[in-house]
C-alpha cells in the first residue's frame, strides 16, 4: 500500500465520519495488508450509520476488524479480493446485498448463516463445492453461484426447502453433468441460468418449475428438449445456443410469452435454415418467432391425425340394465347399481379402450350416453339419438315383452346406419332361457342389428360372453365410417383444450379464441369443428340458433340435466305441464345456471319441449305432460277438409306435442289442448289435430271458412318436423269425395302419392275403395291444394311446371305427359320435403 493510497483512504474515511455518511466507496484502493495493521481501516468502526460499503477490487485476505460495528449495513461489496477464507462471527443482521464473488473462497464463511435479511448474494467465481451455509436464508431472492466447483453430490446435498423466495439462480459454468437435487425444491424460480455445464438432459422434476420466465441452457450438451417444457408457458426468454440440438420442437409455439430465443451453434435441420436465418449466423441474434410460428402453423395445418372418438348410446326399457352395462364398461369390477338408482334423463360418461399399436393414438375415446328408460323420457331422448354412433339395446330377459320391433325402428329412424348390438341381460345359465321368436326376421328387416349377445351383467367380468361383447363393441367402433379418417392436427389440440376446460359453458367468442390459440383462425373452420364435436357428443353447440348460437356447452349434461329436471318436476307434472319462470328459477337454483336461464329455456323451446302461453306472461306449457283426458268441445262436421299422416311401420313419440309447440299461438283460447290432441283456430277456420297411436296416424280435420289456409299452415309445421326424421316412412292421405263417401264419417282415404303418380301418367281419375267403386276425379280431390305452379327454377326456358301439393313437389308437362318427380333441386325447403315423402317408395 503506497503512502498516497493510505492518505486517500484515511481522508475518505474521515470525511465519511465527519459527514456521518451512509455510503462509503473504497473500491480499487489496493488495500492489501493485514487489516489490523491499517489504522485507518480500524476507523471504520466509527461509521455506525453506514448502510452501504464497497470494498471491491482490493487485495484483502481477511475482513477488516472495524466492520463488525457496522450494524446498520445493508449492502456490502467484497468482490474481487482474496478472502480465501473468512474469519469469526460477524453480525450484519441488516445486510440485504452481499457480493463475495471472485475471491477464491473454498468454503462459505460461517457467518453467512445468520444473514437472515439477505436478498441478494453473489458467490460467483470462487471454488465452492458445498452450500450448507445457505440453507437458512429464507429471504434470499437472487443467488449467483456461477463459476464454482459445484457438483451434484449424490448424498450430501443441502436442503433448500426454506429458500421459498428465491427467484433468480445462476449456476452457470460449474461443469455439472446433472442438475443437483437441491434445485428440485426451488419451484418459485423465475430466472434460471444453467449455461456452461455439461448437461446432456434435463431432469423430469424441472417440469414443476412452471414459473420460469427465463431459462439459459446454452453451452451444454443437450441433444433434445423435453416435451414437458411446453408447459412452461411463462417463459419469455430461452437460450439454447451451443448445444447439440437437431430440431426445434413444434410445441415452442405454445409458449405464447416467449419473445427471445437463441439457438446459435446447434446442428439444427428442422426448422430449415431459411426459417431460423440470422439466429444461426450470430450468437447474439434471436430467432424470428413470428416466422417460426408461421412455419409450425403451416406444418400443423398440413399435418393430419386420425380421430378415435365416437358416441355409444345405450337404450332399452327401464330397469333393463343400461346403467349396469355403463358401469361395467368403465370398471368391470364395479358393483351393479341399486334398483332405486334409476337414471334421470341421460347420464354421460367416458370410456376408453386401448387401440392397436398401428393407430396414431393410444386410446379410443367413447362418450357413453346412458338413457333413462322411463317412458316419459322417450320423446325427448329422440333428440340425442345421433347418427354415426354405436348403439346397444339392453333387454331384460325376464321381461318377455320388450318390443324389439319398435326399438329397432326407432334406432333406425334416428340413428341412421349406426350399428346396434342387442344385449340380452340376466340370461342365467340355469334360469329360464328366453328366445326372441322372430329374431331371424328382425335380422333380415334391420340391417343395423349386428350382434345379439346373451350375458349376465351381474357376473361380469367372469361372465362367458363379456369378452365377446367387448370385442364386438370395439370392432363396431373401429369400423364406424368417420373413425380413422384424417383430420387436421389442430382439431385434436382444440378438442384437448376443451376437454381440459372445467367450465360448463363458454361463449362462442371464447370458443373461437381457443381455436385461434390452436391455429384454427378462420371462423368457418372453427364452426365446422364445433359441429363435429357436437356430433361426437363432446359438446353441444346449436350454431344456427339465434339465442343458443352464442353458447358452447362444454358439458352436455349441464344442459340435459336442466331440461330433464323440468320434465321430472313433481309440481310441473301435477300441473299438467304448466310452469312459470319463477318455478324455473327454483329448479335451476345452482350458481352454475346463473345467467343462463334464458339459454336453458331456449334449449327446451329448441327441442320443442315447451311453449309460452300467449295470454299469460312468463307461463309455459310442456305439452308432453298435458292432461291425457280429452276435454269437451264442439265440432262442426259439415263440409270438413281432412288430411292424415300415416306411419306404415313406426310412429315416433312426440310428433303431436312438437307440432303443438310449433303451432301454439293458434291454440283455441290457449287452452283447448290435451296430451294427444289440439284444436287450432285462426279466426276463420278451426283445425283438429289428433294423435292416434294405435292407428299410427295423425289426423287433421278443418272446419269453417278458408280451410285451405289453416290446413297449409298445419301441413307446413308437420312437414318441417318430419325433416328431422330422415329415415321415417310416412304417407299423406286424403279422403275420397265420391257420392258414397261424402256423407260418411269414415270415407276411403287415398295415398296422396298414388294420386300424383296417376296424374303423372295422365290418369285423371282413381277408383274409390268403397262400393260402388266410383271413379273419382283426382283434380277434384287435390285441385285447390296445388299451391302454385311455377317455372322450373333451374332453367327458365324449361316450360315444365312444378306442382306443390300439400308440400310435395312434382314437376310435369301437360302437353308431353312425361311427369316426373323432382328430386334434384337442392336449395328450397319444400323441395327437400318432397324428397322426403318420396322416400315412401324406397
Ligand atoms: N341380478 C342381476 N341384477 C341386474 C343385472 N343387471 C342389472 N341388474 C339390476 O337391475 C336393476 C336395474 O338396472 P339398471 O342398470 O339400473 O337399469 P337401467 O336400464 O339403467 O334402468 P333405468 O335407468 O331406470 O332405465 C339394478 O338394481 C341392477 O343392479 C343382472 O345381470 N343380474
Ligand atoms: Mg339407468
Ligand atoms: Zn269414395
What confidence tens digit (pLDDT) does each residue in 373-412 have?
887 777 778 778 888 899 999 998 776 667 888 889 889 8
Report the atom number in ligand 1 closest to the C-alpha of 314. Answer: 19
Residue 657 sits at φ, ψ, to 5 deg, of: -65, -30
328 in ligand 1 pocket by Cβ < 6 Å? no
Q: Which atom of ligand 1 is nearest to the CA of 459?
A: 31
Ligand 2 geometric centre to CA of 349 (Å): 12
CA-CA distances (angstroms) from residue 724 to 43, 413, 603? Answer: 98, 10, 16
Mean pLDDT within 2-16 = 78
| In the chain, % of residues over pLDDT 90 | 47
Are 774 and 781 a contacting pair, CB within 8 Å? no
pLDDT band for position 806 (cuts 50, 70, 90):
low
Antiparallel, parallel or unpaired: β 309-315 and 363-371:
parallel
Pocket of ligand 1 contains residue 373 by CB under 6 Å: yes
> Which residue has a Cα nearest atom 11 of ligand 1?
339
Q: What is the DSSP string of 552-603?
A: EESSHHHHHHHHHHHHH-HHHHHTTTEEEHHHHHHHT-SGGGTT-HHHHHHH
From the CA of 316, give the closest atom in ligand 1: 19
Q: What is the mean pLDDT of residues 238-266?
A: 92
Does ligand 1 have an atom closer than 6 angstroms to the CB of 338?
yes
Tell me, in angstroms, the distance from the centre of ligand 1 to residue 694's CA: 30
C-alpha 391/C-alpha 480 separation (Å) is: 12
The mean pLDDT value for 77-88 works out to 79
Considering Cα of 672, then 673, then 678, then 682, what sign does the dihedral take? Answer: positive
Q: What pLDDT was estimated at residue 826?
A: 26
Ligand 3 center to 808 CA (angstroms)? 23
Residue 609 Cα distances to 578, 600, 728, 794, 815, angstroms:
12, 11, 20, 38, 49
**Using CA positions, which residue lies closest to atom 1 of ligand 1?**
458
More confident residue, 796 or 213: 213
pLDDT score of 364 more than 70? yes
Would you say the CB of residue 323 lies under 6 angstroms from ligand 1? Answer: yes
User: Ligand 1 pocket, 344 CB below 6 A?
Assistant: no
- Pocket flag, ligand 1, residue 376 (CB < 6 Å): no
The ligand with the least distance to the CA atom of 347 is 2
For residue 139, name the pLDDT band (cuts at 50, 70, 90). Answer: very high
Q: 314, 326, 332, 337: which to mutate for ligand 1, most atoms within 8 A of CB?
A: 337
pLDDT of residue 834: 27
* Distance from C-alpha of 672 to C-alpha of 682, rounded to nearest angstrom: 13
- Return the ligand number nearest the Cα of 775: 3
The alpha carbon of 728 is separated from its chain's Cα centroid by a whole number of angstroms, namely 32
Is 372 a pocket residue for ligand 1 (Cβ < 6 Å)? yes
Find out whether the beta carbon of 458 lies less than 6 Å from any atom of ligand 1: yes
Q: Using CA positions, which residue lies closest to atom 2 of ligand 1?
A: 458
Determine the pLDDT at residue 61.
83
CA distance 213 to 220: 19
Q: Which cell is 59 given?
A: 487485495
Ligand nearest to the CA of 456: 1
Mean pLDDT throughout 46-67? 86
Nearest atom in ligand 1 to the alpha carbon of residue 324 is 15
Indicate which ligand has the atom closest to the C-alpha of 337: 1
Of the residues 324, 326, 381, which should be mutated to test ligand 1's pocket, given the most ligand atoms within 8 Å of the CB?
324
The CATH topology of domain 3-242 is 3.80.10
Going by C-alpha positions, the residue among 426, 369, 385 that lies closest to residue 402 is 426
State the pLDDT at residue 822.
34
**Measuring from atom 4 of ligand 1, which residue has the nearest CA?**
458
What is residue 155's predicted lDDT score, i.e. its pLDDT? 56
Helix (H) / strand (E) containing 135: none
The number of the ligand nearest the C-alpha atom of 338 reads 1
Atom of ligand 1 lying closest to residue 338 CA = 27
| Ligand showing the shortest atom-to-Cα distance for residue 373 | 1
pLDDT digits (tens, 9 = 90+) for 141-177: 999 999 998 876 655 677 888 888 999 999 999 989 9
CB-count exposure of residue 542 (10 Å: 0-12, 13-18, 19+):
buried
Please tell me the distance from the alpha carbon of residue 94 to that of residue 67, in angstroms, as a whole number. Answer: 13
Asked whether 336 lines ligand 1 (CB < 6 A), one says yes
Interatomic CA distance for residues 212 and 206, integer angstroms = 10
C-alpha 805 – ligand 3 centre gap (Å): 20
Closest CA to 654 of 691, 686, 620: 691
pLDDT of residue 33: 56
Least confident of 205-214, 400-409, 817-826: 817-826
Q: What is the mean pLDDT of residues 20-29?
A: 88
CA distances from 27 to 57, 59, 102, 304, 503 (A): 6, 10, 14, 64, 60
Q: Is the CB of 321 under 6 A from ligand 1?
A: yes
Choosing from 336, 344, 348, 393 the residue with most ligand 1 atoms within 8 A of its CB, the one to mutate for a pocket test is 336
What is the predicted pLDDT for the residue at 799? 41
Spatial contact of 802 and 760, defined as CB atoms under 8 Å apart: no
343 Cβ inside 6 Å of ligand 1: yes
pLDDT at 530 over 80: yes
- Nearest ligand 1 atom to the CA of 455 is 31
Is the model's pLDDT at 814 over the cut of 60?
no
Most confident of 276-285, 356-365, 679-688, 743-752: 679-688
Residue 419 has pLDDT above 50, yes or no: yes
Write the DSSP symbol of residue 667: B
Mean pLDDT of the 272-282 span: 81
pLDDT digits (tens, 9 = 90+) for 584-638: 999 999 999 999 999 999 888 888 899 999 999 999 999 999 999 999 999 998 8
The number of angstroms, rounded, from the C-alpha of 231 to the middle of its chain's C-alpha atoms is 20
Backbone angles phi, psi at 578, to 5 degrees: -90, 135
Cα–Cα distance, 474 to 484 (Å, whole number): 13
Q: Ligand 1 atom closest to Cα of 456?
A: 31
By most ligand atoms within 8 Å of CB, the mutation choice from 316, 318, 323 for ligand 1 is 323
Which pLDDT band, with edges at 50, 70 and 90, does 483 fall under?
A: confident
CATH match for 306-478 among 2.30.40.10, 3.40.50.10810, 3.40.50.300, 1.10.3720.10: 3.40.50.300
Q: Is the CB of 333 under 6 A from ligand 1?
A: no
Model pLDDT, residue 123: 94
Q: Which of 222, 208, 215, 135 is nearest to 176 (CA)?
A: 222
On the question of pLDDT at 819 being above 60, the answer is no
pLDDT of residue 34: 54
Q: How far is ligand 2, taken at its centre, from the CA of residue 284, in Å? A: 65
Domain boundaries, the chain: 3-242, 306-478, 753-842
pLDDT for 382 equals: 78
Residue 815: pLDDT band (50, 70, 90) is very low
Instruction: Check pocket membership of 271 for ligand 1, CB cut-off 6 A.
Output: no
User: How many A from CA of 570 to the centre of ligand 1?
Assistant: 24
Per-chain mean pLDDT for the chain: 85
Q: Are strands 775-777 and 97-99 parallel, antiparallel or unpaired?
A: unpaired
Residue minimizing CA distance to atom 32 of ligand 1: 458
- Number of Cβ within 10 Å of residue 309's Cβ equals 24
| Exposure letters 326-357 (e unless 16+ CB within 10 A, then b) | bbbbeeeeeeeeeeeeebebbbbbebeeebee
Residue 788 has pLDDT above 60, yes or no: no
Ligand 1 binding pocket includes 342 (Cβ within 6 Å): yes
Q: Which atom of ligand 1 is nearest to the CA of 394?
A: 19
User: Could you tell me the distance, in angstroms and rounded to a whole number, from the CA of residue 337 to the centre of ligand 1?
Assistant: 7
Rounded to an integer, what distance in angstroms lies between the CA atom of residue 11 and that of residue 5?
10
Distance between Cα 239 and ligand 3 center (Å): 91
- Are the C-beta atoms of 409 and 415 separated by less than 8 Å? no
Ligand 1 lined by 424 (C-beta under 6 Å): no
pLDDT interval class at 435 (50, 70, 90): low
**Is 170's C-beta closer than 6 angstroms to any atom of ligand 1?**
no
**Is the C-beta atom of 457 inside 6 A of ligand 1?**
yes
Q: What number of H helices and E strands is found in the chain?
A: 21, 37
Amino acid at each position: 500500500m503506497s503512502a498516497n493510497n493510505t492518505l486517500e483512504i484515511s481522508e475518505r474515511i474521515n470525511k465519511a465520519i465527519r459527514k456521518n455518511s451512509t455510503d462509503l466507496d473504497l473500491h480499487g484502493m489496493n488495500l492489501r495488508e493485514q487489516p489490523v495493521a491499517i489504522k485507518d481501516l480500524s476507523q471504520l468502526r466509527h461509521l455506525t450509520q453506514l448502510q452501504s460499503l464497497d470494498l471491491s477490487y482490493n487485495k484483502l485476505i481477511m475482513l477488516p476488524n472495524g466492520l463488525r460495528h457496522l450494524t446498520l449495513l445493508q449492502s456490502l461489496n467484497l468482490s474481487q479480493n482474496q478472502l480465501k477464507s473468512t474469519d469469526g462471527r460477524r453480525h450484519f443482521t441488516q445486510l440485504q446485498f452481499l457480493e463475495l464473488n471472485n475471491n477464491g473462497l473454498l468454503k462459505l464463511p460461517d457467518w453467512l448463516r445468520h444473514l437472515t435479511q439477505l436478498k441478494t448474494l453473489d458467490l460467483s467465481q470462487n471454488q465452492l463445492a458445498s452450500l450448507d451455509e445457505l440453507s437458512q436464508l429464507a429471504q434470499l431472492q437472487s443467488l449467483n453461484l456461477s463459476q464454482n466447483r459445484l457438483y451434484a453430490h449424490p448424498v450430501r446435498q443441502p436442503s433448500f426447502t426454506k429458500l421459498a423466495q428465491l427467484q433468480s439462480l445462476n449456476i452457470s459454468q460449474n461443469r455439472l453433468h446433472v442438475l443437483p437435487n437441491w434445485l428440485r425444491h426451488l419451484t418459485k424460480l423465475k430466472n434460471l441460468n444453467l449455461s456452461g455445464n455439461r448437461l446432456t438432459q434435463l431432469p423430469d422434476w424441472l417440469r414443476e418449475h412452471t414459473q420460469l420466465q427465463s431459462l439459459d441452457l446454452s453451452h451444454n450438451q443437450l441433444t433434445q428438449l423435453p416435451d414437458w417444457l411446453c408447459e412452461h408457458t411463462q417463459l419469455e426468454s430461452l437460450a439454447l445456443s451451443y448445444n447439440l440440438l437437431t430440431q426445434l420442437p413444434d410445441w415452442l409455439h405454445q409458449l405464447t410469452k416467449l419473445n427471445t430465443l437463441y439457438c446459435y451453434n446447434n446442428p439444427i435441420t428442422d426448422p430449415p435454415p431459411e426459417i431460423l436465418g440470422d439466429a444461426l449466423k450470430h450468437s447474439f441474434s434471436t430467432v424470428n418467432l413470428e416466422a417460426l410460428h408461421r412455419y409450425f402453423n403451416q406444418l400443423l395445418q398440413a399435418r393430419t391425425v386420425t380421430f378415435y372418438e365416437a358416441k355409444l348410446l345405450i337404450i332399452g326399457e327401464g330397469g333393463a340394465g343400461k346403467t349396469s352395462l355403463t358401469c361395467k364398461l368403465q370398471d368391470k369390477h364395479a358393483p351393479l347399481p341399486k334398483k332405486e338408482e334409476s337414471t334421470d334423463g341421460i347420464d354421460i360418461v367416458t370410456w376408453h379402450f386401448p387401440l392397436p399399436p398401428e393407430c396414431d393414438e393410444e386410446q379410443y375415446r367413447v362418450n357413453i350416453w346412458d338413457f333413462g328408460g322411463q317412458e316419459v323420457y322417450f320423446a325427448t331422448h329422440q333428440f340425442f339419438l345421433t347418427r354415426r354412433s354405436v348403439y346397444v339395446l339392453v333387454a331384460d330377459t325376464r321381461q318377455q315383452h320388450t318390443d324389439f320391433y319398435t326399438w329397432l325402428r326407432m334406432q333406425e329412424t334416428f340413428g341412421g346406419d349406426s350399428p346396434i348390438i342387442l344385449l340380452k341381460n340376466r340370461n342365467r345359465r340355469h334360469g329360464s332361457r328366453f328366445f326372441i321368436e322372430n329374431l331371424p326376421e328382425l335380422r333380415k328387416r334391420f340391417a343395423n342389428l349386428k350382434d345379439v349377445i346373451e350375458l349376465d351383467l351381474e357376473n361380469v367380468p367372469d361372465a362367458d360372453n363379456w369378452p365377446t361383447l367387448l370385442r364386438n363393441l370395439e370392432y363396431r367402433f373401429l369400423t364406424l365410417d368417420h373413425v380413422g379418417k384424417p383430420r387436421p392436427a389442430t382439431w385434436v389440440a382444440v378438442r384437448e383444450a376443451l376437454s381440459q376446460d372445467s367450465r360448463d359453458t363458454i361463449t362462442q367468442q371464447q370458443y373461437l379464441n381457443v381455436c385461434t390459440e390452436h391455429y384454427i383462425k378462420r371462423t368457418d373452420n372453427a364452426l365446422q369443428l364445433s359441429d363435429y364435436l357436437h356430433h361426437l357428443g363432446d359438446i353441444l353447440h346449436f350454431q344456427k340458433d339465434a339465442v343458443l348460437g352464442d353458447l358452447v356447452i362444454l358439458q352436455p349434461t349441464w344442459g340435459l340435466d336442466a331440461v330433464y329436471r323440468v320434465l321430472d318436476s313433481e309440481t310441473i307434472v301435477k300441473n299438467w305441464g304448466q310452469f312459470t319462470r319463477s318455478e324455473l328459477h327454483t329448479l335451476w337454483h345452482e350458481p352454475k345456471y346463473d345467467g343462463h336461464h334464458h339459454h336453458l329455456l331456449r334449449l327446451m323451446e329448441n327441442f320443442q319441449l315447451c311453449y309460452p302461453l300467449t295470454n299469460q306472461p312468463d307461463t309455459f306449457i310442456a305439452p308432453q305432460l298435458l292432461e291425457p283426458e280429452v276435454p269437451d268441445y264442439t265440432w262442426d262436421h259439415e263440409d270438413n277438409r281432412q288430411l292424415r299422416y300415416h306411419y306404415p311401420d313406426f310412429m315416433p313419440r312426440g310428433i303431436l306435442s312438437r307440432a303443438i309447440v310449433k303451432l301454439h299461438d293458434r291454440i283455441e283460447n290457449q287452452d283447448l289442448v290435451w296430451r294427444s290432441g289440439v284444436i287450432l283456430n285462426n279466426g276463420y277456420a278451426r283445425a283438429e289435430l289428433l294423435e292416434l297411436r294405435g292407428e299410427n296416424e295423425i289426423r287433421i280435420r278443418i272446419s269453417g271458412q278458408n280451410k285451405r289456409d289453416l290446413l297449409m299452415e298445419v301441413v307446413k309445421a308437420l312437414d318441417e318436423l318430419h325433416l328431422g326424421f330422415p329415415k321415417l316412412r310416412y304417407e299423406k292421405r286424403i279422403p275420397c269425395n265420391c257420392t258414397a263417401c261424402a256423407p260418411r264419417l269414415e270415407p276411403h282415404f287415398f295415398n296422396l302419392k298414388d294420386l300424383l303418380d296417376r296424374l303423372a301418367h295422365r290418369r285423371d281419375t282413381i277408383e274409390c275403395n268403397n262400393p260402388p267403386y266410383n271413379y273419382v276425379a283426382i283434380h277434384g280431390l287435390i285441385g285447390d291444394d296445388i299451391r302454385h305452379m311455377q317455372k322450373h327454377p333451374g332453367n327458365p326456358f324449361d316450360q315444365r311446371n312444378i306442382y306443390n301439393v300439400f308440400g310435395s313437389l312434382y314437376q310435369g308437362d301437360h302437353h308431353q305427359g312425361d311427369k316426373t318427380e323432382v328430386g334434384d333441386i337442392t336449395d328450397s325447403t319444400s323441395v327437400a320435403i318432397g324428397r322426403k315423402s318420396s322416400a315412401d317408395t324406397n
